[in-house]
Amino acid sequence: MTALDLSSPVAVVGTGTMGQGIAQVALVAGHPVRLYDAAPGLARKAADTIGSRLDRLVEKERLTADERDAARARLTPVDDLAGLAGCSLVVEAVVERLDVKQELFRALEDVVADDCLLATNTSSLSVTAIGGALRVPGRFVGLHFFNPAPLLPLVEVVSGFATDADAATRAYETARAWGKTPVSCADTPGFIVNRVARPFYAEAFAVYEMQGADPATVDAVLRESGGFRMGAFELTDLIGQDVNESVTHSVWQAFFQDVRFRPSLAQRRLVESGRLGRKTGRGWYDHREGAERPEPHTAGPAEPPAYVVAEGGLGPAAELLDLIREAGIEVREAEEDEGSRLVLPSGGQLVLADGQLSAEFGDVVHFDLALDYRKATRIAVSHAAHTSAGTVAQAVGLFQALGKKVSVIGDVPGMIVARTVARIIDLAVDAVAQGVATEEDVDTAMRLGVNYPLGPFEWSRRLGRGWARALLDEMHEVDPCGRYAPSLALHRYACATDQREDTP
């Protein structure tokens, strides 16, 4: 099954931001496009807005004037559903209510031919449930574009329980012909992106709720150490706290209140107070004119240690040994290669975040995971109340000598980046094991849909397939609420590697 022919008319129902964006994508690709909205006059207004956007594309030299004029000529607002007769694809982008969408598609079936592909842009409702109301449910599919649709490349092509394989393939190939990067996905709560991305927000909020760090510090560590484009607090302020919480709550409910997807009480209070982010002027941050942005916690200058003793290779943080040597600090190799840590002149230990608390040990400082320790500009460290001041100072001074800003946070198991990445990997592995998508499609979705620096499986290959399971095992022992218990799929994923390595 191939993509729709460019001569085939495409209809978009719902002319809000997403509807207009999807219509523009289809229009620029070369299709005749018909716009419909139940509210009188909105379809014509949306057509004018799209025309203005095409003008801007000409100004930016992304379209020629002739291409713009041809596109405008292909765009037709219609006053009723009957005007969509003869379309080969109808994409719905109306309010996120199951009854409204079901009623719309039942009405559309009385207008379009049985071979017309019907698609929903829903981000939170079940594609199966929407399509279940149809007379011909096999031609129904999810086409989940990301906002803004003309700019973001990802489209999740979602197959409901009754979706025919040919319909899904036709939708996939059409999205690709439109210049998008489609990924195939089974109908699961949150699809790929909104399912796998939940820990990015949840773990940041959890660190805040346990008073491990303030929002500005968490965001700075996620950006400057984890390599994420934005931190969780600033991103949800941009998205809208109400919107982000609604998606989280929807996924949590759809998974029968699975503790792994539990919403944040702190975010709930923010929504209840009307502090929804940029759109209301206040959220986690104050966005009002003249408001000062809070600075992340950054430790004052400290003297670096004269030397460190390396016990083990530091695993994912092995690159630090070269950086320490380049900074002129002596690296002594331990006689016994046990564990994976740095011993400081104070006698204290510097250990990569492993899911344990510093409080469980005598004189230990943990440091967080980084995407790239050479390029990272900030490193978080944590310690217990009883950790010696000398050990803390030497740990801070060591990273400062490597050119890093240092944020000292509370004694939080898994710290910030490490716990976030481990949980993202777990949900991704679990999704693949349940047939939601392939590893490649999950990685593509997370890189393109939410701008992650690496896909979950790319992270896992870099860190070692057993890394996430080991960290979450430790976190589950410290906090046995079930949220951090590694999934069965993650256990199998890690054990498969172990068995291959043990095979002679």
> Over the Cα atoms of the chain, what is R_g?
26
Pairwise CA distance, residues 411 & 422, whole Å: 18
Structure tokens at 425: 């990997």
31 catalytic per annotation: no
Q: Please list, in sequence order, all residues whose beta carbon lies within 8 angstroms of the beta carbon of residue 471, skipping any fewer than 6 positions away.
A: 353, 354, 355, 414, 418, 419, 422
Pairwise CA distance, residues 142 & 159, whole Å: 6
194 catalytic per annotation: yes
383 catalytic per annotation: no
Catalytic position from the list 31, 109, 121, 123: 123
Q: How far is CA 146 from the centre of its chain?
A: 12
Residue with tokens 């760090």: 213
> Which one, of 406, 370, 484, lies nearest residue 213 by Cα?
406
Catalytic position from the list 124, 126, 194, 487: 194
Pairwise CA distance, residues 65 & 56, whole Å: 11
- Evaluated on CA atoms 277, 282, 285, 286, the torsion sign reads positive
Structure tokens at 471: 């960290």
Catalytic position from the list 31, 88, 109, 156: 156
DSSP states of 258-296 as a string? -GGGPPPHHHHHHHHTT--BGGGTBSSSB-STTPPPPPP
Pairwise CA distance, residues 284 & 276, whole Å: 8
156 catalytic per annotation: yes
Catalytic position from the list 144, 249, 297, 383: 144
Structure tokens at 46: 């949306």
> Which one, of 455, 452, 441, lies nearest residue 156 by Cα?
441
Strand segments, DSSP code E, in 8-145 are: 10-13, 33-36, 75-77, 89-92, 117-120, 140-145
Q: Which residues pair with 196 in a beta bridge?
A: none
Q: Which residues pair with 89 in a beta bridge?
A: 10, 117
Q: Tell me, what DSSP letter sits at residue 4?
A: P
What 3-state DSSP class applies to 242? helix
333: left (phi over 0), alpha (psi -120 to 50) or beta: beta
Q: What residues are labeled active site?
A: 123, 144, 156, 194
